[in-house]
A and B are shown apart, each in its own frame.
Chain A
Amino acid sequence: MASASLPEQVLKHLFSFLTSDKDRNCVSLVCKLWYEVERRCRRSVFIGNCYAVTPDIMIRRFPQLTSLTLKGKPHFADFNLVPDGWGAYVDPWIAAMSQSYPFCLEEIRLKRMVVTDESLELISTSFHNFKVLILLSCEGFTTDGLAAIAANCRNLRELDLGESEVEDLSSDWLSHFPDGCTSLVSLNISCLGSEINFSDLERLITCSPNLKTLRLSQAVPLEKLPDLLCRAPQLVEFGTGAYSSEVQSDVFSNLEEAFSGCKKLEGLSGFWDVTPAYLPAVYPVCSRLTSLNLSYATIQNPDLNKLISRCHNLQRLWVLDYIEDTGLQALAASCKDLQELRVFPSDPFGPEPNVSLTEQGLVAVSDGCPKLQTVLYFCRQMTNAALVTIARNRPNMICFRLCILEPRSPDYLTLEPLDAGFGAIVEQCKELRRLSLSGLLTDRIFEYIGAHAKKLEMLSVAFVGDSDLGLHHVLSGCESLRKLEIRDCPFGDKALLANAAKLETMRSLWMSSCSVSFGACELLSQKMPRLNIEVIDENGPPDTQSESCPVEKLYIYRTVAGPRFDMPGFVRIMNQDAAH
């Protein structure tokens, strides 16, 4: 080739403008030189499935990383579908990186992984400039591990425990933060259950002048809030603790004054156990709020309405279904900038509706909020007409997750399946990236999805469909599909085997309580050596299963790491040579 290649320094400089992983991945495919240059200057890596690759492979390719994001368990683990002990251990990653990245690694972001105190201690002592630790929906560690992080990470900027399960061994881990100024910008301890030492917390907040995000746990009572807020009036995001107290006018006025002093506040959350009389204390900040999470607050209208209708700049609202249709109509009228709405069920197991929240509420919001693009909605009834209206109103929808509480609920007016309604969503919303289905649905909806949902990346499916044809439509039609999770659907071997190659273009496939046979899993693993086919069955040792026996749970993912060896007894990874 006659073309002169650009000198490495120039390439490096050019690549430094590329921040998205996708762009970097593309660039590294151009030629060997570009691959080599890119890999040496890549600073940030995102691994969507920790078992798709090994720490060694990552370290060999990227010798100098600043930031690593790792995701472990499949999404359905959030709903207890993945048994304890399945895997997703971060320890091997930390161990390997502590050897290879001691001076460069600054940020670790984990989601659904098992983290131990040993790993936290290793992080705190191995990485000399460690700055950011984000643990979302993780488990396996205690406050002792947090104490190590607090004590040893002198440059810590972010500590976010997300919605992790942390064993609270002692309330004094906060005291391990060093005396004197800290560089903390973000602290989220909202998931912690036990008591907190308030003087440690006060001292920490006072000594963190850069603190922008502070999310407290339920243990912090309302009476403490004015004092804490006065120490951090620069906060941009604040999560309260328990928001209840006997109504006392001096506490109220202190609180109101404290909130008034927070001129930069844009996001509010927390609000466990709310005493409605104290809600007006936040009115001074409402007009500036862009994000409001009331999903733990058992407040009802009119208190709820009075609060929300003051938040004209709201972009994101998470709320319980106490908001009801009337509240959603008011929301649609007041919050024209709304982009994301999540409505959670207050009584998910109750047989009868306890609130008046129906499809009408969602229709109203879709009508009134032109920027609405992300929806998570739990309700008890739906119609095709409502879904068609929503689709017509909001063709800009990107993420649509609807959960009708009773499986297989039809259109409650016509008694038909909801194929037409969801079909309208996928047809009209051409940018749709994420979709969750519920209600009564036949194979027809999957036909629509396969035909129209070309940008769909993640699909969640439960108690729907008639036959393998449904699964086949999705696997053969959805070009952008990355994650597919299915439970309790009549999908079996045929569709899976016919679309085996597709599975290697996706991150993962989860199927539980479906009709996939053990034999099909064996066949699939022979056909597709670069997939890990995990059969998860707590009912008995996998060896005793016959070929036609349906597997309880199936998790298939592409990997360059080969089969893993850290799985528990109830997980079996099918081998290529399928010795049986």
Chain B
Amino acid sequence: MERRRAIYEKDLNLEATELRLGLPGLDESEKQSSTSNSAKNSKKRPLSEMDDNNSSCVTENEQQEYAPPAPKSGFNKIFFFNNFRAQVVGWPPVRSYRKNIVQAKKPESDTSLGMYLKVSMDGAPYLRKIDLKIYKSYPELLKALQNMFKCTIGVYSEREGYNGSDYAPTYEDKDGDWMLVGDVPWEMFINSCRRLRIMKGSEAKGLACL
């Protein structure tokens, strides 16, 4: 029990030298290294307590110990462990088709990245981007668009579209078709909208007549 604790304390000893992913057995001194989760897990003892206890328990067996290389400073530790798992071939032991499938699809609740879409306006020299996620309804969106492009979009009506205004907002949906903004419920719009285009009134009149 004592010996095990001593070995583990040596593990936590962060006297590690340079980063190394070489073969074991090449150089005894290079093998002194340690790994730990101490950086990540706040329940572990702080480093200063370690240093006192590490010295006298080194035995021959510990010299043989091979460990993945460890970083030097606190910050690098965390960064390194992110990469360590990604760099070590075949660890964790998950088959490659499982890695891909899972990483390709994160659950719908992951909203941290926002939903940025391109917005173009006829006649404007460059496009803009807006985050659809921050709007909860059509009026909010249209207000924001009017602000961004300094234009008037007017009021939506099912029958007339945006007739009577200079501009009409349209969007490209999943199927690649250009649709008038406002026809479908907001949730459905959010899920199918790929990009926005604010069309000039003259062209827009054509849409509204359909």
Interface residues, chain A, CB within 8 Å of chain B? 76, 78-81, 163, 191, 246, 272-273, 295-296, 298-300, 320, 322, 344-349, 351-352, 378, 403, 405-410, 412-413, 415-417, 419, 440, 442-444, 460, 462-463, 466-469, 487-490, 492, 513-515, 517, 548-550, 552
B66 close to A (CB within 8 Å): yes
Whether B23 and A513, one on each chain, are in contact in the complex, defined by CB atoms closer than 8 angstroms, is: yes
Q: Which residue of A lies closest to B106 (CB)?
A: A298
Interface residues, chain B, CB within 8 Å of chain A? 4-5, 7-8, 11, 23-26, 35-37, 40-41, 43-45, 61-62, 64-68, 78, 81-82, 85-86, 88-99, 101-103, 105-107, 109, 191
Interface of B is mostly: loop
Whether A413 and B102, one on each chain, are in contact in the complex, defined by CB atoms closer than 8 angstroms, is: no
Q: Which residues of B contact A296 (CB under 8 A)?
A: 98, 101-102
Q: Which residues of B contact A349 (CB under 8 A)?
A: 82, 85-86, 99
B106 → A minimal CB distance (Å)? 7
Q: Which residues of B contact A273 (CB under 8 A)?
A: 105
Residue in contact with A419 in the complex, picked from B4, B40, B65, CB distance below 8 Å: B4
21 contacts between A and B (CB under 8 A): A78-B93, A79-B89, A79-B94, A81-B90, A163-B97, A273-B105, A295-B98, A299-B107, A344-B102, A351-B81, A408-B68, A415-B8, A417-B4, A462-B91, A463-B91, A466-B7, A488-B68, A490-B66, A514-B66, A515-B24, A515-B64
In the assembled complex, the Cα of A272 lies from the Cα of B25 at a distance in Å of 45
In the assembled complex, the Cα of A246 lies from the Cα of B8 at a distance in Å of 54
Q: Which residues of B contact A352 (CB under 8 A)?
A: 40
Q: Which residue of A lies closest to B44 (CB)?
A: A415
Report if A490-B102 is in contact (Cβ < 8 Å); known contacts: A351-B40, A405-B92, A406-B85: no
Q: Which residue of B lies closest to A406 (CB)?
A: B37
In the assembled complex, the Cα of A19 lies from the Cα of B129 at a distance in Å of 69
Q: Which residues of A contact B23 (CB under 8 A)?
A: 513, 550, 552
Q: Which residues of B contact A345 (CB under 8 A)?
A: 92, 94, 102
Among A320, A345, A487, A490, the most chain B Cβ lie within 10 Å of the Cβ of: A490
Q: Which residues of A contact B36 (CB under 8 A)?
A: 408
In the assembled complex, the Cα of A549 lies from the Cα of B22 at a distance in Å of 12
Whether B35 and A407, one on each chain, are in contact in the complex, defined by CB atoms closer than 8 angstroms, is: yes
Q: Which residues of A contact B61 (CB under 8 A)?
A: 443, 466-467, 469
In the assembled complex, the Cα of A311 lies from the Cα of B129 at a distance in Å of 47
Whether B25 and A515, one on each chain, are in contact in the complex, defined by CB atoms closer than 8 angstroms, is: yes
Report if A79-B68 is in contact (Cβ < 8 Å); known contacts: A295-B98, A406-B81: no
- Known A347-B102, A403-B92, A412-B43; further 8 A-B contacts with Cβ < 8 A: A320-B102, A345-B102, A410-B37, A415-B8, A442-B7, A466-B62, A467-B65, A513-B66
Q: Which residues of B contact A191 (CB under 8 A)?
A: 97
In the assembled complex, the Cα of A465 lies from the Cα of B131 at a distance in Å of 52
B193 → A minimal CB distance (Å)? 13
A520 → B minimal CB distance (Å)? 11
B126 → A minimal CB distance (Å)? 33
Report if A408-B11 is in contact (Cβ < 8 Å); known contacts: A78-B93, A298-B105: yes
Whether A348 and B68, one on each chain, are in contact in the complex, defined by CB atoms closer than 8 angstroms, is: no
Q: Which residue of B lies closest to A165 (CB)?
A: B97
Whether B37 and A409, one on each chain, are in contact in the complex, defined by CB atoms closer than 8 angstroms, is: yes
In the assembled complex, the Cα of A325 lies from the Cα of B85 at a distance in Å of 24
Residue in contact with B66 in the complex, picked from A344, A406, A442, A515, CB distance below 8 Å: A515
In the assembled complex, the Cα of A508 lies from the Cα of B46 at a distance in Å of 44
Whether A408 and B67, one on each chain, are in contact in the complex, defined by CB atoms closer than 8 angstroms, is: yes
A191 → B minimal CB distance (Å)? 8
Q: Which residue of A lies closest to B79 (CB)?
A: A351
Whether A298 and B102, one on each chain, are in contact in the complex, defined by CB atoms closer than 8 angstroms, is: yes
In the assembled complex, the Cα of A477 lies from the Cα of B151 at a distance in Å of 82
Whether B97 and A487, one on each chain, are in contact in the complex, defined by CB atoms closer than 8 angstroms, is: no
Whether A442 and B4, one on each chain, are in contact in the complex, defined by CB atoms closer than 8 angstroms, is: yes
Whether A490 and B99, one on each chain, are in contact in the complex, defined by CB atoms closer than 8 angstroms, is: no
B185 → A minimal CB distance (Å)? 12
Whether A467 and B102, one on each chain, are in contact in the complex, defined by CB atoms closer than 8 angstroms, is: no
